[in-house]
A and B are shown apart, each in its own frame.
Chain A
Amino acid sequence: MKALPYLLTKEYKQMFRNWLLPVVFILLPIAMMNVVPRIATQEVKNLTIAVIDCDHSTLSSRLIQKLQASEFFNLYATCPNYQTAYDLLQEGRVDFIVTIENEFEPNLYRTGGADIMVTVNAVNGMKGGLGNSYLTQIVMQYAQELSYESGAIMRRPVTVEPRYLFNAALDYKPYMIPALMAMTLILLVGFLPALNVVGEKERGTIEQINVTPVSRIEFILSKMIPYWTVGLFIVGFSMLLAWKIHGVTPAGSIGLVFLFNIVYVFTISSLGLTISNYSDNMRQAAIVMFFFIVIFILTSGLISPIASMPHWAQEATRLNPLRYIITAMREIYLKGSTFHQLLSQFIPLCIYGALASTWAVTSFQKNN
């Protein structure tokens, strides 16, 4: 291991002489931590509605006010007839059409019931479904209010009072931020190593290294360790940003966050180096790494929960290192899970790291 300090000096010098890299190490975490949590939200808000009030009564206008007051809905227009509203929906100006029947108030007084028709634009199924349930909730509340007012003796209806654990405000940010940290890391310390060894192949400098008696382990370690330090810097920096910008801090131990990320960075930089070893040029390496990163991100549970995937896909995600780190990071950040509780994430990640690093060393060929 005598050559390692010399090789490391070389790698660090090269890394910081490339002016772009240190800039990216700073800017990417800022972009990911500052901007993405604000925009990558699955909360459905600002749904637009058109109302056709055929009744024009006190009770119908009170309903419209309720809809307007909701944080989920914006009243876009009140339309004279269905066709006008439907045109608005076709044009994409409104998501919902609420039609109040023309005997709304009289029917309510007479029979205690009246009809409202809701037309939903369900191109985006989730938006349509969620919006519809918000709307139903508002109408139900209104109906209850009316029956109290009319003095009707009602049996106490069954109500569900949820208690939300770990993220009481059901805020999307503390859920996304820990996962986004893992994503930032794979984009930097997964991608850059993939371009590294192959870059030396393209420039021809690898020949001068291969003709020396340097050991493969030393050479690969000298490639890996700089990304390791950069990766841990990015973890710390991202945590600081998440805290300062969004007030999001881990409920669990910060040491545990670092422990997981040490293994994770080790794993993904090994994968990157392995791809680099097998590639003949940077373009090849970039495309292969890009392929893996996209698949890893989509199947990591970052966006869609793993539990709702088909069974075979759930099994396949076991091959995804991102899955373990994202699960662990969320558990540490939101639930404050302990090391012991996270062993089921830690052990597979360690096995993955051991295999990937062995592969990175053995796939580096000094003689072929």
Chain B
Amino acid sequence: MTDEIVIKAEGLTKRFGDFTATDHVTFEVRKGEIFGFLGANGAGKTTAMRMLCGLSQPSDGKATVAGYDVATEYEQVKRHIGYMSQKFSLYDDLTVEENLVLFGGIYGMPRKKVQDKITELLQELGFESERKTMVKSLPLGWKQKLAFSLAIFHEPSIVFLDEPTGGVDPVTRRQFWELIYRAADNGITVFVTTHYMDEAEYCDRVSIMVDGRIDALGSPMQLKQQFHGNSMYDVFYALARTAKRGD
């Protein structure tokens, strides 16, 4: 991990009518870091993440990702990031290989390189036999691993993961985090939202959002000291119960 800042948000805000989904959040993420983005349902995590990915325009404030302004240079931002949405969003009616070829092609990777990478990737995942399988017939855990691999397939410098392990069994979740660590080791900055507090412990630093604001930010160790808790669960509970917004 270096001190180079790759994500910088200052007063980032998104309003929908008179509802403020994300309310002046300010934080920085360093290169190579695994940054956990926590919060209850409806706290504004996904909204914030969508702004950082250049999918949504900020109503106020400013953010840069990989050095590009998300409000104006969002197409540049998209060249440097990978994204895995909360809802599974690969093409169900294409095979594993076809999905990877498609997105590799969209990012302008040479055909030969795409083929080599697919072989390598499927070997790593133990997926070789599923190369020509339709994505819709894969089990959920495999789909999620595939979606993650696809998000980092074009070797982005930052990857955004929106609740990547939702609905996944504990064994697969563990394997999933191994993939995340491997990506971080390769220098990819990981920005991840989750509801699982054990996963929060795996992060280098964690922020906790309550009602659209960031109420806590620090390493899991620091936060536990600050909020006098034994685990991230205690920290989260202490903050989340102050929330006014319901589900």
Query: B93 contacts the other chain (Cβ, under 8 Å)?
Result: yes
Q: Is the CB of A207 within 8 A of B85?
A: yes
CB distance from A101 to the nearest CB of B (A): 76
Q: Is the CB of B56 within 8 A of A204?
A: no
With A204-B89, A211-B78 in contact, is A7–B55 under 8 Å at CB? no
Query: B48 contacts the other chain (Cβ, under 8 Å)?
Result: no
- Docked Cα-Cα span, A213 to B81, in Å, equals 10
- Docked Cα-Cα span, A209 to B108, in Å, equals 14
With A213-B78, A213-B79 in contact, is A207–B55 under 8 Å at CB? yes
- Docked Cα-Cα span, A6 to B108, in Å, equals 10
Q: Is the CB of A18 within 8 A of B93?
A: yes
Contacts of B78 in A (CB 8 A): 211-213
Q: Mark A144-174, 1 if CB is under 8 A from B, else 0.
A: 0000000000000000000000000000000
Query: B236 contacts the other chain (Cβ, under 8 Å)?
Result: no
Could you tell me which residues of chain A, from 182 to 226, have a CB within 8 Å of some CB in chain B? 203-214
Contacts of A14 in B (CB 8 A): 91, 93-94
- Docked Cα-Cα span, A212 to B87, in Å, equals 17
Contacts of B74 in A (CB 8 A): 366-367
Contacts of A212 in B (CB 8 A): 78, 103, 106-107
Contacts of A17 in B (CB 8 A): 93
- Docked Cα-Cα span, A266 to B76, in Å, equals 31
- Docked Cα-Cα span, A204 to B87, in Å, equals 7
Q: Is the CB of B87 within 8 A of A207?
A: yes
Residue of A at shortest CB range from B88? A204
- Docked Cα-Cα span, A210 to B54, in Å, equals 9
Q: Is the CB of B83 within 8 A of A211?
A: yes
Query: B90 contacts the other chain (Cβ, under 8 Å)?
Result: yes
Q: Is the CB of A7 within 8 A of B89?
A: no
CB distance from A311 to the nearest CB of B (A): 44
With A207-B85, A367-B56 in contact, is A6–B102 under 8 Å at CB? yes
Q: Is the CB of A6 within 8 A of B55?
A: no
Q: Mark A13-28, 1 if CB is under 8 A from B, else 0.
A: 1100110000000000
Query: B67 contacts the other chain (Cβ, under 8 Å)?
Result: no
Q: Is the CB of A205 within 8 A of B90?
A: yes
Q: Is the CB of A3 within 8 A of B81?
A: no
Contacts of A366 in B (CB 8 A): 54-55, 74-75
CB distance from B110 to the nearest CB of A (A): 10
Query: B92 contacts the other chain (Cβ, under 8 Å)?
Result: yes
Query: B20 contacts the other chain (Cβ, under 8 Å)?
Result: no
Contacts of B106 in A (CB 8 A): 3, 6-7, 209, 212-214
**Residue with the greatest number of chain A CB neighbours at <10 A, chosen from B85, B89, B90, B107:** B89
- Docked Cα-Cα span, A201 to B106, in Å, equals 19
Could you tell me which residues of chain A, from 287 to 327, have a CB within 8 Å of some CB in chain B? none
CB distance from B136 to the nearest CB of A (A): 11
With A2-B105, A2-B108, A207-B85 in contact, is A10–B98 under 8 Å at CB? yes
Query: B101 contacts the other chain (Cβ, under 8 Å)?
Result: yes
CB distance from A217 to the nearest CB of B (A): 13
Total interface residues on A, CB under 8 Å, equals 26
Could you tell me which residues of chain B, from 103 to 142, have a CB within 8 Å of some CB in chain A? 103, 105-108
Contacts of B56 in A (CB 8 A): 367-368
Describe A's contact surface by its main secondary structure. helix
CB distance from B199 to the nearest CB of A (A): 22
Could you tell me which residues of chain B, from 59 to 82, have a CB within 8 Å of some CB in chain A? 74-76, 78-79, 81
- Docked Cα-Cα span, A169 to B105, in Å, equals 58
Q: Is the CB of A13 within 8 A of B89?
A: no
Query: A141 contacts the other chain (Cβ, under 8 Å)?
Result: no
Q: Is the CB of B105 within 8 A of A368?
A: no
Could you tell me which residues of chain A, from 1 to 49, have a CB within 8 Å of some CB in chain B? 2-3, 5-7, 9-10, 13-14, 17-18
Q: Is the CB of A207 within 8 A of B102?
A: no
Residue of A at shortest CB range from B83? A211
Query: B231 contacts the other chain (Cβ, under 8 Å)?
Result: no
Contacts of B102 in A (CB 8 A): 6-7, 9-10
Could you tell me which residues of chain A, from 344 to 360, have a CB within 8 Å of some CB in chain B? none
Contacts of B232 in A (CB 8 A): none
Query: B172 contacts the other chain (Cβ, under 8 Å)?
Result: no
Contacts of B41 in A (CB 8 A): none
- Docked Cα-Cα span, A322 to B100, in Å, equals 41
Residue of A at shortest CB range from B85? A207
Contacts of A205 in B (CB 8 A): 89-91
Residue of B at shortest CB range from A206? B89
With A7-B106, A18-B93 in contact, is A208–B75 under 8 Å at CB? no
Contacts of A18 in B (CB 8 A): 93
With A3-B108, A366-B55 in contact, is A208–B94 under 8 Å at CB? no
- Docked Cα-Cα span, A203 to B108, in Å, equals 25
Could you tell me which residues of chain A, from 54 to 91, have a CB within 8 Å of some CB in chain B? none
Q: Is the CB of A211 within 8 A of B101?
A: no
Contacts of A209 in B (CB 8 A): 106
Query: B219 contacts the other chain (Cβ, under 8 Å)?
Result: no
Q: Is the CB of A367 within 8 A of B54?
A: yes
**Residue with the greatest number of chain A CB neighbours at <10 A, chosen from B79, B85, B88:** B85
Q: Is the CB of A213 within 8 A of B91?
A: no
Contacts of B91 in A (CB 8 A): 10, 14, 205
Give 5 A-B pairs besides A7-B106, A207-B87, A208-B103 with Cβ atoms closer than 8 angstroms.
A14-B93, A207-B85, A208-B83, A208-B150, A212-B78
Across the A-B interface, the 5 shortest Cβ-Cβ residue pairs = A6-B105, A204-B87, A211-B83, A208-B89, A204-B89
List 7 A-B residue pairs with CB atoms under 8 Å apart, sorted by A's residue number: A5-B105, A9-B102, A14-B94, A205-B91, A211-B78, A212-B103, A366-B74
